[in-house]
Structure formats: structure tokens, C-alpha cells
């Protein structure tokens, strides 16, 4: 129950902070904000403070900030006409619209940066995993030991596993039998080398069926400073951005389309991540926050990127407003795209529910 609640609160926080970006920017440039709502639909609760209504809707699919004059055709009271969205200079409109995605980008950066400072970065060195250490290795090895060699053989996990498998039980290989010979294992621990004689044990589990020392590998970690953490954060976020854009660019390819998750799948992934570890949950939240920013910046109405796009078009036209009919037709295309993405994600989620893989996360 607690992971579900934490996942829900995490989503709510991302939505509130995104909309708070729009809200704060709108207030800062002098626009009139009529409503700030968490979720859509008829308000379950609302309160008015000054000229703004604060509400919680019943449909938990997002949130919104309603600014006077967002629709060019709406009637605007003369006393607030000067504070209407479309009466404001282009640069102010862009600042207000870009503020939401900008907040999501900053949130993603701060989470990743803080995690790197706290946990360090992964290295290309394999170390003993603290979660999978088992007998007989448990008597000798410690979490984060680096395996240097086995019987003089150096290499990655596959090379080490092949060498260990050369130690066989006397007679018939049966589950749990000890090898007739021991393996010479050299490990690096805290900068010093240690040598152990460890007797492998046969694992008869399907798909394994070989002698093992009884440990699994994980990636090593190295501490980083604030500057390196910032550099790694930006690099990682840029890689995610490129992959996200590439996925949507290839949306009509079945393989790419199957990668999309909807609200249900994303929520379940976040819930499971909270069950697994706080660090993983924060990583997933950062990824969701960054993805929200990227998708919102696509140049289609009603997305934030669509509003920015048409504001820039107006600027290129020398300040002449783009006819509402043109934006309306373009907005229909964007609306169809958003609905299509929603149903593709929902269909994929239903498929994952059917085969039991919904929300699967790597462990």
C-alpha cells in the first residue's frame, strides 16, 4: 500500500511543480491566472484566493493553469484585457509556457546530480554483488570485492565462469555436489590483493547446470565531485532526450511503438521501484520528469511546445498574430497525436497486464 501511495504522491509532485512553473512565470510577467488545478475534470475541492481558484479535479491524468486570454476568441473583461495572454509580448508568452518543462528538466537534473554525489558513478569494473553473495563464496568474498583472476585466468564474468566450470564433482554431477578440486581466486579489496582457495559447488538449476562459486556480479562505483556529477547528469539527460525523440520519430515502426508505456504502465513501474529501493524510485522519477518535459516541448498544440512554436511564428511574421483558424487546424493534428500516444501506451499496458510483465524493472 505504501509504495502505491508514494508513487501517486511522486506523480502529483511532478504535476504540481510543472504547473507551478507556468503559474509563477505568469504571475511574474503580469498575466492574470484564473485557475490552478491538480488533475482534470469537475473539482473535488477548490478554494479561491484573490483572483485565482485553486482546485483538485477527479481525473488524475495531469493538471493545468488557466490564464486569461489563452483562447484568442474568448471574451475578455476590459479591466483585465491588458493582462491577457495574447495581449502580452511574444517573449513573455514563451517564458510562461517554457517554465513548466523547464521545471521538469531542473527536477530531473537535481535528482540525478544528487544521486551521483551520494552513490558515485558506475565503472566498467565488475565487482561481487552484495545482493547475490552465497555459499561457498560467502565464507571468503565480501560485497564490492573485485575478482582479479581464477586459476590465473583473467577476464570478465564469462571468462571467469568458464574457468570455474572446469572444476567438476567426482563422479556424477548432481545438484549441490562439491567439486573435486578447489579454485584459486584472487580478489582486490580496499586496494590490496587477497588469495583464497574456494571449492566450487554444482548448481543443477535449469539453464545453469555447472559448478559455481556462488556469487553474482555487479558494477563497481567511483565517487564523483559536484562538477563531474553535473557533467554526467547533463550527458545522461541528453542521451535520454535523443532516445525519446528517436522513439517518437519512428512511431509507426512496430518495434519502437511497443516501447511506449501509458499512465498505467508508468505508474506500476514507479510503484515497483519504490518497493525495490529509494534510489531506483528517484531514478525513475527523474526519468519521468525529463520525459514529461521532452514530450511537452513537441511543437503541437495543445502541448507547451505548440504554444511556443506559434509564438515564434508570430514573431517571424513581424508581430502579426497567426489566424486562430490556422492554429485550430494545427491543434487538431496535435490533439490526434496526443490521443494516439495515449491509446498506444494504454494498449501496450493492457498487453503487459495480460502477459504479466506490466511494470517489470531490471533487478
Coil, helix or strand at residue 64 = strand
* Least reliable range by pLDDT among 61-75, 155-169, 325-339: 325-339
Q: Is the pLDDT of residue 286 over 80?
A: yes
User: Per-residue confidence at 120, pLDDT binned at 50, 70, 90?
Assistant: confident
How much of the chain, in percent, has pLDDT values that exceed 90?
Answer: 35
* Least reliable range by pLDDT among 55-59, 75-79, 161-165, 263-267: 263-267
Q: Look at residue 352 in the predicted model and tell me its pLDDT.
A: 46
Q: Is the pLDDT of residue 89 over 60?
A: yes
218 phi, psi to nearest 5 deg:
-135, 170
Tens digit of pLDDT for each residue in 208-246? 888 988 888 877 778 889 999 999 999 999 988 888 787
Mean pLDDT is highest, among 56-70, 85-99, 138-152, 210-224, for 85-99
Q: Look at residue 48 in the predicted model and tell me its pLDDT.
A: 93
Q: What is the mean pLDDT of residues 311-332?
A: 85
Q: Where are the domains of the chain?
A: 2-32+68-120+226-355, 122-222
User: Per-residue confidence at 151, pLDDT binned at 50, 70, 90?
Assistant: very high
Distances (CA, A) of 105 to 115, 240, 260, 297, 338: 16, 12, 20, 11, 21
Report d(CA 64, CA 53) in Å as an integer: 12
Q: Look at residue 362 in the predicted model and tell me its pLDDT.
A: 37
Report d(CA 84, CA 32) in Å as an integer: 6
More confident residue, 11 or 27: 27
More confident residue, 254 or 51: 51
Residue 103, burial from CB neighbour count under 10 angstroms (0-12, 13-18, 19+): buried
Q: What is the mean pLDDT of residues 118-141?
A: 76
More confident residue, 211 or 60: 211
Q: In 3D, which of 72, 94, 102, 95 has the Cα closest to residue 84?
A: 72
Q: Look at residue 354 in the predicted model and tell me its pLDDT.
A: 47
CATH superfamily of 122-222: PDZ domain (2.30.42.10)
User: Per-residue confidence at 355, pLDDT binned at 50, 70, 90?
Assistant: very low
* Least reliable range by pLDDT among 38-42, 62-66, 151-155, 325-329: 325-329
User: Per-residue confidence at 47, pLDDT binned at 50, 70, 90?
Assistant: very high
Mean pLDDT is highest, among 65-79, 81-95, 333-347, for 81-95
User: What does the angle CA 41 – CA 42 – CA 48 come to, to the nearest 5 degrees?
Assistant: 115
Distances (CA, A) of 13 to 26, 153, 289: 20, 51, 10
Mean pLDDT, the chain, integer: 83
More confident residue, 144 or 315: 315
Report d(CA 92, CA 109) in Å as an integer: 25
* Least reliable range by pLDDT among 34-38, 79-83, 115-119, 257-261: 257-261
Contact 222, 120 (CB under 8 A): yes
Give me 223's grid cell.
565517487
How much of the chain, in percent, has pLDDT values that exceed 70?
Answer: 84
Q: In 3D, which of 156, 166, 279 has the Cα closest to residue 217?
A: 156
Amino acid at each position: 500500500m505504501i509504495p502505491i501511495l508514494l508513487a501517486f504522491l511522486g506523480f502529483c509532485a511532478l504535476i504540481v511543480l510543472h504547473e507551478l512553473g507556468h503559474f509563477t512565470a505568469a504571475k511574474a510577467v503580469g498575466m492574470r491566472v484564473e485557475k490552478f488545478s491538480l488533475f482534470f475534470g469537475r473539482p473535488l475541492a477548490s478554494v479561491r484566493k484573490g483572483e485565482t481558484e485553486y482546485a483538485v479535479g477527479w481525473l488524475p491524468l495531469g493538471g493545468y493553469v488557466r490564464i486569461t486570454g489563452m483562447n484568442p476568441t474568448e471574451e475578455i473583461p476590459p479591466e483585465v484585457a491588458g493582462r491577457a495572454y495574447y495581449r502580452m509580448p511574444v517573449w513573455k508568452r514563451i517564458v510562461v509556457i517554457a517554465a513548466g518543462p523547464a521545471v521538469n528538466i531542473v527536477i530531473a537534473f537535481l535528482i540525478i546530480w544528487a544521486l551521483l554525489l551520494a552513490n558515485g558513478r558506475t565503472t566498467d569494473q565488475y565487482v561481487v554483488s552484495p545482493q547475490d553473495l552465497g555459499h561457498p563464496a560467502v565464507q571468503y568474498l565480501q560485497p564490492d570485492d573485485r575478482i582479479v583472476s581464477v586459476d590465473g585466468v583473467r577476464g570478465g564474468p564469462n571468462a571467469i565462469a568458464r574457468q570455474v566450470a572446469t572444476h567438476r564433482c567426482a563422479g556424477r554431477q548432481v545438484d549441490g555436489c562439491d567439486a573435486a578440486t578447489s579454485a584459486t581466486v584472487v580478489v582486490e579489496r580496499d586496494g590490496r590483493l587477497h588469495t583464497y582457495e574456494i571449492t566450487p559447488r554444482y548448481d543443477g538449476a535449469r539453464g545453469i547446470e555447472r559448478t559455481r562459486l556462488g556469487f553474482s556480479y555487479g558494477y563497481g562505483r567511483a565517487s564523483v565531485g559536484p562538477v563531474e556529477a553535473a557533467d554526467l547528469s547533463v550527458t545522461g539527460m541528453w542521451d535520454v532526450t535523443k532516445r525519446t525523440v528517436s522513439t517518437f520519430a519512428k512511431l509507426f515502426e512496430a518495434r519502437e511503438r511497443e516501447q511506449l508505456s501509458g499512465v498505467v504502465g508508468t505508474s506500476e513501474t514507479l510503484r515497483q521501484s519504490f518497493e525495490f529501493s529509494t534510489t531506483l524510485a528517484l531514478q525513475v522519477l527523474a526519468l519521468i520528469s525529463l520525459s514529461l518535459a521532452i514530450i511537452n516541448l513537441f511543437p503541437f498544440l495543445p502541448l507547451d511546445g505548440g504554444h511556443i512554436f506559434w509564438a515564434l511564428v508570430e514573431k517571424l511574421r513581424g508581430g502579426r498574430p497567426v489566424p486562430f483558424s490556422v492554429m485550430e487546424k494545427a491543434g487538431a493534428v496535435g490533439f490526434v497525436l496526443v490521443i494516439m500516444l495515449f491509446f498506444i501506451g494504454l494498449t501496450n499496458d493492457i498487453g503487459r497486464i495480460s502477459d504479466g510483465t506490466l511494470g517489470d524493472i531490471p533487478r
